[in-house]
Amino acid sequence: MVEKFIVSRDDSIYQAFPDVALTPTGKLLCVFLECTHHADRSYTNNMVVASTDRGRTWSPKQPLTPALRGDPKKGDPSYDCPRITTLSDGRLAAIINRAHENLLMFSEDEGETWSEMAPTAVEGGVPDKLIELKVGPDAGRWLLEAHVEQKGGWAVRNWFSDDQGKTWRGPRLIAQDPDLFLCEGSILECPGGQLVCFMRENSHMGYDCFKCISTDGGETWEGLYRMPVPGCHRPVAGMLRSGKVLITHRYCQGGKGWLGWWTQNFFAALTDVESCLARDRQRAQCRILPLDYDRSPVSDCGYSGWVQFPDGEVYVVNYCVDDAPKGHIRGYSLRESDLILA
């Protein structure tokens, strides 16, 4: 039921950590990181590809930024995990993460040309995509989230701008727990204006997805609460046109791993707003669909992005190794009926 496509594959280089945006004319833009290896950032660059046929075929990759080379262990900067968003005015906004500095790039012509990188106040790794609030008194506000690894518990934080990125306020603490390694948040805006931040827990114990809730536009957060999405790494949450919620994520079962690596499975979880806002795990429900399995003995997968077309088709991007010598980017087409029949 799930169709798969090659978004970008180059057997000479590692490609990973993709995200995707849908423009007003139906064009898809996918950004991803090109690097020596997941664990070797001596060379990194942000790449972009485009599709005008709903992700069935893609253009050759083009660099979005100047390449970086050096040794991050000696303090040389490197890139990580770009993100992309289509704003309400039709512009594209790309988040470029450079050595825990997060910068914004904009395109007014659906990715044909891009602005220079502009700084933000956001500090931390693996940022969420730019969230533009749509309802309530804070409609139009921009939110950005990132995490920092520190003593006393990793901290997931957000910043916000009420003037389209000219100035930023924050950080606001979303979550921090000395017994957990919380990171890689994804913020969902609910129809009632509540925000839910879903987070990875990085102890490799196979814990549930954790979440916190905000009712004031990201100024303050409450929680931690558990969501019944086990072994959840790098959740990416969003609203479907039906009113349901989709969360794509890596499944990491924990334990010793296989050759020291736990990254074989890529899943999609279907849930609802009531479950997202539930403070009790037993009051939340979801259905989980396997999207891909990485057969490589050095498997690596599970950072993703997704969009939905007006006719209901969901298009997901993810990276994996599988039958290739290096990481590459795949696309997946599915519909809500693939998770649950009407």
- Which residue ranges make up each domain of the chain? 3-338
DSSP state of 60: P
What is the structure's pLDDT at 260?
64
Q: Radius of gyration over alpha carbons of the chain, in Å?
A: 18
Phi-psi region of 321 (alpha: psi -120 to 50; beta: other; left: phi over 0): alpha
DSSP state of 150: -
Which residue, among 318, 328, 321, has the nearest Cα to 259 in the 3D structure?
A: 321
Contacting residues for 112 by C-beta, under 8 A, at least 6 apart: none
Q: Is the pTM of this model over 0.95?
A: yes
Q: Which fold has domain 3-338?
A: Neuraminidase (2.120.10)
What is the structure's pLDDT at 16?
98
Tokens for 66, please give them. Answer: 């100047």
DSSP state of 337: G
Q: What is the dihedral of CA 137, 139, 141, 142, to 10 degrees?
A: 140
Q: How far is 125 from 303, CA to CA, in rounded Å?
A: 14
Determine how many CB atoms are found less than 10 A away from the CB of residue 138. 18
Residue 160: helix, strand or coil by DSSP?
strand
Q: How far is 35 from 78, CA to CA, in rounded Å?
A: 9
Q: Which residue has the tokens 């990276």?
A: 319
First to last CA, the chain: 15
Sequential DSSP letters for 237-262:
EEE-TTS-EEEEEEE---SS-BTTB-
Question: Which segments of the chain does DSSP mark as H helices, in order?
Answer: 273-277
290-319: b (≥16 Cβ within 10 Å) or e: ebbebebebbbbbbbbbbbbeeeebbbbbb
Order across the sheet with 92-98: list the strands. Answer: 79-86, 92-98, 101-107, 118-123
Q: What is the 3-state secondary structure (H, E, C) of 114-127?
A: CCCCEEEEEECECC
Residue 129: helix, strand or coil by DSSP?
coil
What tens-digit pLDDT sequence spans the chain (342 residues)?
899 999 999 999 999 999 999 999 999 999 999 999 999 999 999 999 999 999 999 999 999 999 999 999 899 999 999 999 999 999 999 999 999 899 999 999 999 999 999 999 999 999 999 999 999 999 999 999 999 998 888 999 999 999 999 999 999 999 999 999 999 999 999 999 999 999 999 999 999 999 999 999 999 999 999 999 999 999 999 999 999 999 999 999 988 877 767 899 999 999 999 999 999 999 999 999 999 999 999 999 999 999 999 999 999 999 999 999 999 999 999 999 999 997
